[in-house]
Amino acid sequence: MRSFLAKYATALAGLGVVIWFAATAPAFASAANFTLILKETSFLAILALGFALALVTAELDLSIAEVASLAAVVCGFLVHSGYPPALAIAAGLGVGAACGLANGFAVTVLNVPSLIATLGMAAIAKGLGFMLTQGVAFVGRWPADFTGLARGNFLGVPNLLWWLILASIFAYALVKWTRTGAHLVATGEAEEASRLAGIPTKRMKRLALLLTGLFAGATAVLLAASLSSAAPNMANDHFLYAIAAVLLGMTMFEPGRPNVPGTLVAAFTLKALGNGLILSGAPYYVQDIVLGAIIVGSVALSAGALGRAAFVKRLSFRTAQ
């Protein structure tokens, strides 16, 4: 029982939140509202899964939102200018991956701590986004080939959710079932011991940061397709949410470790919470305050429950070996 609670207490709390809003907030429990929450969860969770992959190797990527915005702008620009959707999609993913690659280079070759390297990347991506758009958004009637990525259903399930399912399976299978995944985890758990055991820890960090960028790119393409627009700050609102989802996710399933099921449950819980707060008539700023409390509370809970240095070290400011 104790170990069950240690693993699922926060997930149960999330369930409690959902039940509470279902009982108190008008329209919360409707099918339409749930679909809305699930769609919102999809963007957030894909971005968060990317953040989680970097964190698995004990690196922070604070550039995810700005990179996603930049990728959305590039993708949106190409669609807007009439280029084939496939090219625009590839460009969006490519921008994300390129930024991730650059982050990996800064962290493992230039030995800049990821906290700083990705903060720098965030500023650069933001600047580039505004440069490309001159501060305005690309909006228009975009081809259905492109917007269909994020709109519509397949087998009765929203397309967005399918993308999330795919991203989740990929991340889960990679981390849990493959040798590369074992090396990613080992790098994050004990970098020096792993290196001495022959694991190419720097390459693992580069791979993780590359994937983080790629996931940010995927989020960007879906956001642009869903909104039929692209603006240089469009992913900003997802930044704190994504970090909160990963950290809250670390309190469940595999306490103390970034994990896929935890991130998914946490992302849904956070979106349900945000949605429920709005439907209950709470002012918009309450969301931010609650989110901040959840971020700090999650880390306190994980670190406290584990009582170990490893977790805190994972999040602390340090240089790559």
Partner 1 sequence: MSVLVRLGAVTKSYGAVEALRGVDLEIRAGDVLALCGDNGAGKSSLVKILSGAHAHDGGVFEIEGKAVRFASPQDALTRGIATIYQELAVAPRLSVAENVFLGSELVRTPLPFVSLLDKKRMRDEALGYLKRLGVDLGDATRPVERLSGGQRQAVAIARALRWDARVVIMDEPTAALGVAETKLVLDLIRRLKDEGRTVVLVSHNMADVVAVATRVAILKAGRKTVDRPVAGLDAAALAQMIVTGREAA
* Contacts with partner 1, residue ranges (CB under 8 A): 176-179, 181-183, 185-186, 189-190, 192-200, 256-257, 308, 310
Shortest gap between Cβ of 297 and partner 1 (angstroms)?
22
Shortest gap between Cβ of 170 and partner 1 (angstroms)?
14
Cα 57-59-60 angle, rounded to 5 deg? 140
Per the CB < 8 A criterion, the answer to whether 64 and 51 are in contact is yes
Q: How far is CA 129 from CA 121, 132, 134, 259, in A?
A: 12, 5, 8, 31
Per the DSSP assignment, residues forming a β-bridge with 158 are 153
Shortest gap between Cβ of 302 and partner 1 (angstroms)?
12
Shortest gap between Cβ of 176 and partner 1 (angstroms)?
8
Backbone angles phi, psi at 139, to 5 degrees: -130, 145
- The span from the CA of 45 to the CA of 166, in Å, is 12
Q: Which is nearer to partner 1, 117 or 199 (CB)?
A: 199
- The span from the CA of 114 to the CA of 58, in Å, is 9
Q: Which is nearer to partner 1, 200 or 292 (CB)?
A: 200
Q: Which is nearer to partner 1, 131 or 197 (CB)?
A: 197
Nearest-Å Rg of the Cα atoms of the chain is 19
Shortest gap between Cβ of 64 and partner 1 (angstroms)?
25
Alpha helices in 140-284 (DSSP H): 144-147, 159-177, 179-189, 191-196, 201-227, 238-249, 260-279
